[in-house]
Structure 1
Amino acid sequence: MPEVQCKRFGIEPYQSLQALTFAVDKINADPELLPNITLGFQVFDTCRSLRRAAQGTFAMLSGGEEIIPNYNCHEGAPLAGIIGDSGSTRSILMAQILGLNRYPQISYFSTSPILSERDLFPSFFRTIPSDEFQMKGLAQLVSHFGWSWVGLLASDNDYGQYGLQLVRQEIINHGACVAFTENILTTEPNRNAPRIVQVIKQSTANVVIVIASDSDFVIVVEELLKQNVTGKVWVASESWSTSGLLSAKRFQVVLMGSVGFAIHAGQIPNFTNYLSSLHPSKNPQDSHLWEYWEEVFSCKWLSPKDLVANVTYKACTGNEKLESQLSEENVRLSFNVYTAVYAIAWALHNLQQCVSGTGPFYHSDCANIFSFHPWHLFHYIKNVNFKNQDGSYMFFDEKGNPPAIYDIVNWRPRESTTLEKVVVGSYDLNVPDGKTLKVDSSRITWSNTFDQVPLSNCSPRCPLGFRKVIIPGKPLCCHECSSCPQGQISSQIDAVECHPCSWDTWPNLQQDRCLPRPTEFLSYGDPLGYSLAAISIFSSLIPLIILAVFIHQKKTPIVRANNYSLSCLLLLSLLLCFLCSLGFIGYPQPEKCLLRQVAFGMVFALCISCVLAKTITVVIAFNATKPGSRLRKWTGVKVSYCLIMFCVFIQLFVCIMWLILSPPFHELETDTKPGVIIVNCNEGSPTAFWCMLGYLGLLASISFIVAFLARRLPDSFNEAKLITFSMLAFLSVWVSFIPAYLSARGMYTVAMEVFAILSSSWAVVGCIFVPKCVIILFKPNLNTRDHIMFKGSNK
């Protein structure tokens, strides 16, 4: 099988190699770290190939030029550990081999979560956090900007697929939805780019998370440029968030405004100066340095043949300045390599400092630093804990992961030909305040399409006063907005459900906050309230005026013929009937609730009892005039008063039992009328209320029947005809009152009862007393004994 050849020179891998060299030199120069011990290293280039990774692993384990599995040809110093590989797929292969003998392996760029499984990879460590942490952070970043509809794009290798599964689940856990999922096929020359771009163009998602290497994603970006797809926000994983390959100016129209997670930019003191000091002339034998120079400055070292051939390459002069090309983003990966070297160095230091008898191995023994086994150093790497020169602490958790911290970067244009990556926040799981994600949104520059934070939602956001309603058959993020039900509010955008107001509050028109409910009762301040009150007071004057007329004219025949004493008592009861209606107007205090219906029932019972007594008196008086009648003894006033007292006593008994067993009480009612608190008097026992009212109807009915039967009495006793009309009107009012009372709501229920009280009282006044007053005041010639007797004789 032909040997795999590396075809392309990588700037970052070479800088990582220089970071390793720089770290080893610093450790060897440090008298306090590994005193009297000199570290060395051997570098093997895998060319991003699984085959080369396996070859290099076996070669390092064998120690010779030949690969001999399970045989160690190492001469001199033992192999302490292996730093690498950069790719997760290759690290998985290496870790399976190295884990058999517990050889410590520290990767600086392998992020696959599967490498955290200690059962499969017991000796694997890394100085870059697992994708498990990064994908949680990416989901939090999506949630931070309010994006609920995002696309996912991932390479089809271990890195992309594990990351894809994790970020999808985390996005769903944060309440967002995935619009599409596409794979970059690394085995295809075009990486499936035409189909991917078509899906992105047709999707309504404005945000796409990309979990892939820059070398795979660049082909998709080329296709995006070709099809002029712009206006998308690209969320980068750390594998391409600081890529120099994608920073070219021609990609600016597509990638400007991208945000993403980047490897934390730790500080390596003097490392930038070290890189700046590199020059091919200082080390002409280092062919890699010559290639590095060509890649950094996009030039070519021209040979004499090239000069003769007159090639058009940009020539490298050697006068170029490396410091102009170096920045913080160029050394992010180098810091991880630097930290990995120091982790092995500190583990070796702790192994060297072990005191016999207190060691961690069998019989409290220590390992010899000149002849230790791999599992000896593995024990110390597991427990390493040291402080980097930039002040950060380095240690490994039980799964071999370092403290998880990322920088959040934003891609923005700058004067040079490349896009600038500006740090705008951080994601740190070790912060004491628990605020793992910190983003300064004011520093973010979005693409030319968006002035502010772009939106990426399947459906429009639901405003205040609305709630989200899921559309059947579509993702949860695709919804309709429905206004809150009556009596409920939503005080936040995109509310999942509405919340009811408290009993004494009610939503405003926008249904985004609760306002105090207005109270409703028949108030003196309302037009209806003061109108009824004015009518009641005016009406109460009429019985007084009539009573004054009757007192003044008490000796006239028409007054004497109509039972003067009973008429006065009836007029006084009518006065109370008109006035009792005032008890139903105004705020219903508990005392008013307790007495107003009882007062109404008692005064009306007195009124109708007087009418009934007058009716019966008329009948008895007519029949007592016949010769030999025994009714003469029943024509006295005492009989009438006894009848009135008996009738009133029955009503009094009903009212007392009502007040004892289930008295009326003050009530705040919120269910009858939406948005209003109706302040009313609950009658306590509806049965007692209707019994009281029914008793009044019974008395009125008896009066009506008796008066109707006596309507043909002589004119001198013609009051029976007037009582018939009065009781007919009285009963009509209260029969009409029942359905109106039951159908009315709020203060109109009370108004209906007040109206019935006034109407029925006016019926009695109008039918019984007005005709008499007309004769007394305006037709005195008819108010004579002769006229009354004459009309009676005619009958």
Structure 2
Amino acid sequence: MAVVTENYQHLLALIFAVNQINDNPYLLPNITLGFNIYDSYLSARWTYHAAMQFISPKNRFIPNYRCETEGNLLAVIEELISELSVQIPNALSIYKIPQLVFSSATVDIENTNLLSSYRMVPETYQYTAILQLLQYFKWRWIAFIAASGVTLDWFMKIMLPEFSKKDICFAVVESFTSLCACFDFERYNFMKCAFEFYEKVMSSKANVLVFYGDTHSMILLRYLLSKDIEGIMSKPKGKVWILTVGMELKSFVSRKSWDIGAFNGAISFALHSNELPGFEQFLQNRKPSSSNGDGFIREFWTQAFGCTFQDLVEDDDVSGDTCTGEEKLENLPEHVFPKSVTGQSYTIYNAVYAVAYALHAMYSFRSKNREKMKRKRRVHHNQLMWQLHHFLKSVSFNNTDERKVCIDQKGNLMAGFDIINWITFPNQSFSGVRVGKVDPWASADEAIFINEEAITWHSWFNQAQPISQCNAKCKPGYRKKRKEGEPFCCYDCIPCPKAFISDKEDLAECFKCPDDQYANMEQDLCIPKHITFLSYEEPLGISFVICALSFSFTVTLILRVFMKHHDTPIVRANNQNLTYTLLISLFLCFLCILLFIGQPQKTTCLLRQTAFGIIFVVAISTLLAKTITVVLAFRGTQPGCKIKKWMGKKMTQGIVLFCSMLQVGICLVWMVTCPPVPETDVHSLREEIVLQCNESTSVMFYCVLGYMGFLAFASFTVAFLARKLPNRFNEAKCITFSMLVFCSVWLSFIPSYLSTKGKSMVAVEIFSILTSSVGLLVCFFSPKCYIILLRPDLNKKELFLKRKH
């Protein structure tokens, strides 16, 4: 038989509490409490026998027949074991006997509204404490073993959804009865159970095993883990066992060969306990010789001290030590008999006081209503048990260590839990270290406290905090993808889509950076975008400014040369006013480049495209007017031609004015309906915020370009047809080449412009303006400047008249 010496402290806590109450003149005066203690021997037969004895006469086993006026049963303080006492709460509830249950795995969990049941270890609160512990250590992949199928069914129905809400899922969910239904403790028939247990539980990938059980299932578990199952696991993998109240390690004196190394680093819950004033002295004074009526002390003494009392053997040949009765409890190892008050002993102590305070409140209530309570003693006796329930459900008091104890309306003891870390040693001894506490009723920030430095983990983990997950966490830059057919804790890690990031581990979804930031290459960080526009400070902007000013200065020099030689034939040919107009428009074309450089403003955005469009149309219409003048001049020399009367300044001015006004009209419509405005473009480029001008409508912009292109093509066509007309200073050839360059530049501009973004678009347009303007300047004026400056002998009227005739 497995003898648990530690449990003797529970009995002493009961005796100590009853003695204190009986010695207290203010609590239950003139009433003496007594008690009977029954040992179930972990046997269903003895458990049921004890339950029936509660409702039988003294020293006679006749259930449901009691007529004594003394020794009345008030309450039962019990540890229910699932497999051994499945019907006890229901049976005792018929008689409305208050039952204060301090077992972790109570029998009928679903029927929690039994009138007679008071739970010193509330299941829901303990599950909450387990959940908080799992969250604290970030254990997401666990195995769960329940003591019985009833407990497992309740867990699956009530608590499993709560665990799932906290992203905790299970590698194994089983009941111990289903895993070990074949086990016969007496016959040691454990092989089938052991194989199934190791295959389903110990071989799982989960590093954390939650065992929600009782004393009986703990004995069976220790027996299984202490045996070497040949061929199953040569070196069993270490696990973190999380044990519920009542499943903490206890010393089984008769089972010293059971190895407990598997439980090294285990964590168990115990109801919060404090040292009781006077209890330590009470233990020290406990002797077999001075404990009359204690039927357990001599058996405890022989098991704990490993000795034998002389009067228990038939002959004088006694092997081993002889018990003197003077051995001291404080000399026993902690794992054999703990000196400090355990959680169960503290709970039993408080349970006794709860019954006493409830009974005291009931008698106080009766004294206040004496007129209504004039009945016979027998009648009071029959009503005591059911009347006590009302007061038990509202009992609240401070015990001897000044701790508040209360039971809520649902019959649950309002108490927190201590977290115990178990350290085992090669000599099969062990020590429980209190490493934290859990208060299920506290706020989320204060619900759990753990001293991680005080925890000893299983040697398998090399003293590092264990990790229990189905798979490795997804690194930043990746997101989780659910694996089909597996629990939600099992997933693949896939990279975030382009422009999305994940900056924490195990994110379910990636997210986009704010508009003013962009994702880095690893996609785990958002980097602020830098603001960009074609500025005067950067090399490209400086280059464009230098080119614009240089060519503007060149146009000014050419204009100066032409004005200085305004009387020469080559300047006067084909209307010198048109030449001056063309030079001025080219001068403005170069200067309008400056509108495209610098941070876009409302004014510059309005003027950019309109100024460029109108100025270029003036230049092209001037060339068109010159070409038409050449054609009309040649036609006017033929006999009988009436075209000559159309030739003159008014006609050329009219062409330039008409063509320009059409472009002005297009620009005015654009400015009135949807004018360009400055905008901040955060989407076009990945790493930049572009400050640019929004043209508002591409239709009007391409209308401006289209009209300019139409005039250029018309001018090119007319000039090309007039290129071979017999004229000494025929400008048609120069205009043809100028328009050819102009059209080539702007035809290539459109695809280049559409394929670029940001300030590159501005640079493409500036380059097109600059190139086309230089083309016009070079192709049209370089031949004239060559003659004026380098070949003045060709710039004579005589040569012109000679060529003309």
What's 2:195 paired with?
194
Q: Cα deviations across residues 457-493 of structure 1 (Å, max 9, x unaligned)?
A: 1111122222212222222112222222233222222
Residue 456 of structure 1 pairs with residue 468 of structure 2: yes
Residue 222 of structure 1 pairs with residue 226 of structure 2: yes
1:750 shift after superposition: 1.4
What's 2:30 paired with?
36
Alignment of 1:110-509 (within 5 A): 111-112=105-106, 114-115=108-109, 117=111, 119=113, 121-126=114-119, 128-156=120-148, 158=150, 162=154, 168-184=160-176, 185=180, 188-189=183-184, 192-212=193-213, 213=215, 214-223=218-227, 227-245=234-252, 251=259, 253-283=261-291, 286-301=294-309, 311=319, 313=320, 315-325=322-332, 326-327=337-338, 331-355=342-366, 358=369, 372-412=383-423, 418-431=429-442, 435-448=446-459, 449-509=461-521
Ranges in structure 1 where 5+ consecutive residues have no aligned partner: 1-6
Amino acid paired to 1:222? S
- For the aligned residue pairs, the C-alpha RMSD in angstroms reads 3.1
Residue 653 of structure 1 pairs with residue 646 of structure 2: no
What's 1:614 paired with?
626
Distance 1:356 1:198, change over 3 A: closer
What's 1:689 paired with?
701
Amino acid paired to 1:392? R
Preserved contact between residue 670 and residue 678 of structure 1 (Cα < 8 Å): yes
Which secondary structure state, in structure 1, belongs to the residue aligned with residue 365 of structure 2?
A: coil
1:423 shift after superposition: 0.9
1:533 shift after superposition: 2.6
Alignment of 1:578-727 (within 5 A): 578-727=590-739
Preserved contact between residue 584 and residue 750 of structure 1 (Cα < 8 Å): yes
Q: C-alpha separation between the residues in 2 aligned to 1:304 and 1:210? A: 40
Q: C-alpha separation between the residues in 1 aligned to 2:614 and 2:139? A: 72
1:50 pairs with one of 44, 50, 55: 44
Alignment of 1:74-85 (within 5 A): 74-85=68-79
Q: Cα deviations across residues 579-637 of structure 1 (Å, max 9, x unaligned)?
A: 11221122222221111101101111111111111112222222223344333333322
Q: Cα deviations across residues 228-285 of structure 1 (Å, max 9, x unaligned)?
A: 3143222222222243349979746422221221222233222222122212233477
Q: C-alpha separation between the residues in 1 aligned to 2:7 and 2:704? A: 101
Q: C-alpha separation between the residues in 2 aligned to 1:412 and 1:305? A: 38
Q: Cα deviations across residues 55-98 of structure 1 (Å, max 9, x unaligned)?
A: 22222213244443443232435322222244355565222122
Q: Cα deviations across residues 549-570 of structure 1 (Å, max 9, x unaligned)?
A: 2122222222222422211111
1:330 shift after superposition: 5.6
TM-score (norm 2): 0.90
Preserved contact between residue 359 and residue 365 of structure 1 (Cα < 8 Å): no
Q: C-alpha separation between the residues in 2 aligned to 1:469 and 1:361? A: 72
Q: C-alpha separation between the residues in 2 aligned to 1:787 and 1:208? A: 112
Amino acid paired to 1:211? Y
1:329 shift after superposition: 5.7
Q: C-alpha separation between the residues in 2 aligned to 1:738 and 1:144? A: 62
Which secondary structure state, in structure 2, belongs to the residue aligned with residue 587 of structure 1?
A: coil
Distance 1:327 1:62, change over 3 A: closer
Distance 1:745 1:446, change over 3 A: same
Which secondary structure state, in structure 1, belongs to the residue aligned with residue 397 of structure 2?
A: strand
Amino acid paired to 2:67? C
Ranges in structure 2 where 5+ consecutive residues have no aligned partner: none
Deviates more, 1:301-310 or 1:201-210: 301-310
1:662 shift after superposition: 0.7
Deviates more, 1:760-769 or 1:524-533: 524-533
Q: C-alpha separation between the residues in 1 aligned to 2:67 and 2:670? A: 111
1:656 shift after superposition: 0.9
Preserved contact between residue 614 and residue 640 of structure 1 (Cα < 8 Å): yes
Amino acid paired to 2:129? G
1:151 shift after superposition: 1.9
Q: Cα deviations across residues 700-720 of structure 1 (Å, max 9, x unaligned)?
A: 122122222222211324111
Preserved contact between residue 424 and residue 430 of structure 2 (Cα < 8 Å): yes
Q: C-alpha separation between the residues in 1 aligned to 2:637 and 2:653? A: 21
Q: C-alpha separation between the residues in 2 aligned to 1:163 and 1:593? A: 70
TM-score (norm 1): 0.91
Deviates more, 1:455-464 or 1:246-255: 246-255
Preserved contact between residue 99 and residue 122 of structure 1 (Cα < 8 Å): yes
| Number of residue pairs aligned between Structure 1 and Structure 2 | 784
Distance 1:85 1:432, change over 3 A: same
2:88 pairs with one of 90, 94, 97: 94
1:426 shift after superposition: 0.9
Distance 1:416 1:380, change over 3 A: same
Distance 1:432 1:670, change over 3 A: closer
Q: C-alpha separation between the residues in 2 aligned to 1:564 and 1:364? A: 138
Q: C-alpha separation between the residues in 2 aligned to 1:73 and 1:8? A: 38
Q: C-alpha separation between the residues in 1 aligned to 2:693 and 2:107? A: 71
Preserved contact between residue 242 and residue 262 of structure 1 (Cα < 8 Å): no
What's 1:3 paired with?
none
Q: C-alpha separation between the residues in 1 aligned to 2:352 and 2:301? A: 25
Q: C-alpha separation between the residues in 1 aligned to 2:225 and 2:13? A: 31
Q: Cα deviations across residues 75-126 of structure 1 (Å, max 9, x unaligned)?
A: 435322222244355565222122123222222325428457355x211113
What's 2:536 paired with?
524
Preserved contact between residue 622 and residue 717 of structure 1 (Cα < 8 Å): no
Q: Cα deviations across residues 404-461 of structure 1 (Å, max 9, x unaligned)?
A: 3110011235798622111111111233676322212222122233332111111111
Distance 1:110 1:734, change over 3 A: closer
Preserved contact between residue 356 and residue 365 of structure 1 (Cα < 8 Å): no
1:374 shift after superposition: 2.2
1:376 shift after superposition: 1.8
Which secondary structure state, in structure 2, belongs to the residue aligned with residue 267 of structure 1?
A: coil
Which secondary structure state, in structure 2, belongs to the residue aligned with residue 354 of structure 1?
A: helix
Distance 1:359 1:668, change over 3 A: farther
Preserved contact between residue 728 and residue 800 of structure 2 (Cα < 8 Å): yes
Preserved contact between residue 132 and residue 166 of structure 1 (Cα < 8 Å): no
2:10 pairs with one of 16, 22, 28: 16
